[in-house]
Structure 1
Amino acid sequence: MRRAEGINFNQNNHVVIQNDGTNGLPGPQMMKAVYDMARKGARDEIQAQMRDGGLFSGGGR
C-alpha cells in the first residue's frame, strides 16, 4: 500500500451550545450530536475526494 504524501484535512464546525444542565457539563445527547456532525463532515470530505480529480480518485497512480 502506497502512502499518500501531502494530504491535509481541515474541518471547521460552528457549534452553539445551550447547556440546560446545572453542573455545566455536556450531556450524552449533545456529545452524540457533535460526534455525528463531525462524522458526517468527514464522510462528505472523503466522498468529495473520491470524485475525479480528488486525492483518492486514483488518477495520480
Structure 2
Amino acid sequence: MLKEARLLDERREGIAEGIAKGKANEKLATAKHLFSMGLSVQDIAKATSLPFEQVEALKEE
C-alpha cells in the first residue's frame, strides 16, 4: 500500500511538472506572437509575466 501511495505521489508530481512546462511554453509562444505585433520588450514582459531579461533574450533569437 505504501508503494501505491508513493507511485500516486510521483504521478501527481509528474502531472504538475507537465502543466508548469506547458504554461511556460505558452508564455513564450505568446511573447513571440506579441513581438510579431510590434510590442516592446517591456510591454511583453508585463503582459506575459516573464522576466524582462528573458523577453529581451527571446527577441534576440
Alignment TM class, shorter chain as reference: 0.3 to 0.5
Q: Normalized against structure 2, the TM-score is what?
A: 0.44
Q: Which has a greater percent of helix?
A: 2
Q: Which has the higher contact order (CA 8 A, sep 6+)?
A: 2
